[in-house]
Amino acid sequence: MSFDLEVDAERWRRGLRQLVESTPGIVPVVKGNGYGFGRDRLAAEAHDLGLPMITVGTYNEVPGALAAFDGDVMVLTPWRPFFTDVVHDERVIHTLGRVEDVAALASGFDPNARVLLEGETSMARHGLDRHELAAAVAALGDLRLEGFAIHLPMAGSNLVEAESWAAALQTSQLETTTLYLSHLTPAELATLRERRPQLDIRPRIGTTLWLGDLGAMSIHALVLDRHLVARGERIGYRQRPMPRDGFLLIIAGGTSHGIGLEAPKAAAGVAQRGKSLARGGLEAAGFSLSPFTIDGKQRWFAEPPHMQASMIFLPSAVRAPEVGDSVDVAVRFTTATFDAVNLR
């Protein structure tokens, strides 16, 4: 099997350096599937960029990060007293978003731990309410406060909300001037720094850093088999009939690689809903559009993707690739798993 990510290493790394140099205080996010590259590889890249800190998503990701990176490792998921995989290490910085968790960590779990306090933004995911900041400060005990954090939504402008939290930090009893945040545009970040020069603002950036230059990357999948099929001929697990004469291609890349997985979409407006309904009808009939591009066009699945390969239908008029040829693929990098990542 070969479902591979090919990377122009020089171009990709040039983009990384440019963003790091233009973004003071940047903290790379190295979580999940490592944006398709793998977390260990990104941790090593962060080291080579001379950065002192990375952020991971969960405690399960901490041991690998500590092994691959020699700086500090911040955990995005807030600490909870019932977690069984917490790593207590001098280089680990824990996030706290509830007063009771601050008290629990300070009173016995790890009284000298390095921590961030997180504020609850309009994301409504984790964090302290503004009115809880005083109680959180009172519960800190000997915990070492490394900063305050906010995780902002990606929709719309976040500057007003970010500035509101920056003001709250400055007027609170928190003994820190370091603000970690996510999802500000470069212009918003520059404005916030201009308006709040007393704060050390540290942007946590993942997608824009690692996937900022998609032109430096290409994904190739091997054609594993090719069959002539006739209209009405039944194929695959589900024995669906072919709509016309053509070719059936078996291509490397299936659900285990992230093929066929996508985030739910919100349909706004009559036209968009109509398109969604039309797509839904096609998908119900087994004609879902695949991410594989052949002869200049995205092609249809013959049936839903298998675990490690996909069956693609091509009309007879299309120039079909040979067994052993590669075809281009478009994927969502945060759900993709590649057989190989080749930096050339």
- 56 and 192 housed in the same domain: yes
Specify the 3-state DSSP secondary structure of 331: coil
Distance CA 209, CA 213 (A): 8
Distance CA 255, CA 51 (A): 35
- 150 and 36 housed in the same domain: yes
Q: Which of 193, 212, 231 is the last residue of a domain?
A: 212
- 200 and 336 housed in the same domain: no
- 202 and 237 housed in the same domain: no
Residue 337 is classified by DSSP as -
- The pLDDT tens digits for 112-132 are 999 999 999 999 999 999 999
- 18 and 82 housed in the same domain: yes
Q: Which of 192, 212, 232 is the last residue of a domain?
A: 212
- Of residues 286 and 2, more confidence is placed in 2
Task: Look at strands 114-119 and 144-151 and give their pairing.
Answer: parallel
In this predicted structure, the answer to whether residue 329 has a pLDDT above a threshold of 60 is: yes
- Of residues 283 and 46, more confidence is placed in 46
Segment among 72-81, 226-235, 285-294 with least mean pLDDT: 285-294
Distance CA 344, CA 249 (A): 28
- 42 and 157 housed in the same domain: yes
pLDDT given at position 288: 86
CATH of the domain at 252: 2.40.37.10
- 233 and 166 housed in the same domain: no
pLDDT given at position 285: 47
- 193 and 291 housed in the same domain: no
Mean pLDDT computed over 208-228? 97
In this predicted structure, the answer to whether residue 17 has a pLDDT above a threshold of 70 is: yes
pLDDT cut 90: percent of the chain above it = 89
- 131 and 18 housed in the same domain: yes
Mean pLDDT computed over 213-239? 96
- The pLDDT tens digits for 51-79 are 999 999 999 999 999 999 999 999 999 99
- The pLDDT tens digits for 252-282 are 999 999 998 754 444 445 555 455 444 444 4
Could you tell me how far CA 253 lies from the centroid of its own chain? 20
- Among residues 167, 158, 75, 176, the alpha carbon closest in space to that of 121 is found at 158
Residue 213 is classified by DSSP as -
- Of residues 261 and 296, more confidence is placed in 296
- 162 and 236 housed in the same domain: no
pLDDT cut 70: percent of the chain above it = 92
Q: Which of 212, 233, 267 is the last residue of a domain?
A: 212
pLDDT given at position 269: 54
- Of residues 286 and 291, more confidence is placed in 291
85: number of Cβ within 10 Å = 10
pLDDT, averaged across the chain: 92
- 142 and 287 housed in the same domain: no
Count of domains forming the chain = 2
- The pLDDT tens digits for 176-217 are 999 999 999 999 999 999 999 999 999 999 999 999 999 999
pLDDT given at position 261: 73
pLDDT given at position 271: 58
Phi then psi for residue 58, to 5 deg, are: -135, 165
Residue 313, token pair as written in the block:
């239908």
Q: What is the dihedral of CA 58, 30, 72, 104, to 10 degrees?
A: -20
Mean pLDDT computed over 293-306? 94
- 264 and 331 housed in the same domain: yes
Q: Domain range holding 289?
A: 217-343
CATH of the domain at 142: 3.20.20.10
Report CA-CA distances (Å) from 63 to 66, 70, 74, 86, 336. 5, 12, 12, 10, 22
Strands, DSSP E only, in the chain? 3-7, 27-28, 53-56, 72-75, 92-96, 114-119, 144-151, 178-182, 200-205, 217-229, 234-235, 240-241, 246-252, 289-294, 297-301, 309-315, 326-329, 340-343
In this predicted structure, the answer to whether residue 48 has a pLDDT above a threshold of 70 is: yes
pLDDT given at position 142: 97
